[in-house]
Amino acid sequence: GASLRRIIREARVRAVSERSVVRTSLQAFMEPIAENDQILKLFLREGSVGSPELRAAVERQLVFFEDELEIDLRRFAELRNHRLEEPHLAARATTRIVFAMATRSLDLPPAERTRLVEETVVMLRMILLGARAFRSTHGETERPPSSKRKRSPRHQIGRAHV
């Protein structure tokens, strides 16, 4: 968890200073895979095929990342004065696509990994553009039970601001 959180933190820092938040964040996440980071590779593999306990631990980390990404998406939308529907679903879709893509990329040669990153950038942009354009007819959907835990004050961002 700590290694993966460090990677995510670095991606956030780089994303703020770069033009393409999606591309920069994804590249920051993929660099340790290219550098043969065994902890990240273990995390990705065990999240798909590990024991029930390891899969549950990976799921907890993914929910943590979804929560963090939701906060970032809300902040970016607010800063840019954009509307953003269902930010928790956009964060969940993004996290799950990146996890699946990263797992798939583990054994790919560098050229194929680069192609997969480019495809994933397009997918993630489509999700974000869709979250801006989507008009929910029923208000925000219910958050899944795994995300209904009590949050710290830094997680308290009102939904009405987006």
Q: Give me the DSSP letters along 18-57.
A: SS-HHHHHHHHHHHHHHTT-HHHHHHHHHHHHS-HHHHHH
Kindly report the pTM of this predicted structure: 0.72
User: For residues 134 and 86, is the Cβ–Cβ distance under 8 A?
Assistant: yes
> What pLDDT is attached to residue 155?
42
Mean pLDDT, the chain, integer: 77
> What pLDDT is attached to residue 17?
46
- For residue 48 the two structure tokens come to 């798909």
Q: 30 or 138, which is more confident?
A: 30
Question: Residue range 58-80: average pLDDT?
Answer: 88
> What pLDDT is attached to residue 24?
76
For residue 123, pLDDT over 90 is answered with: yes
User: pLDDT, tens digit, for every residue of 126-138?
Assistant: 999 999 998 766 5
CB burial readout 47-57, b (16+ within 10 A) else e? beeeeeebeeb
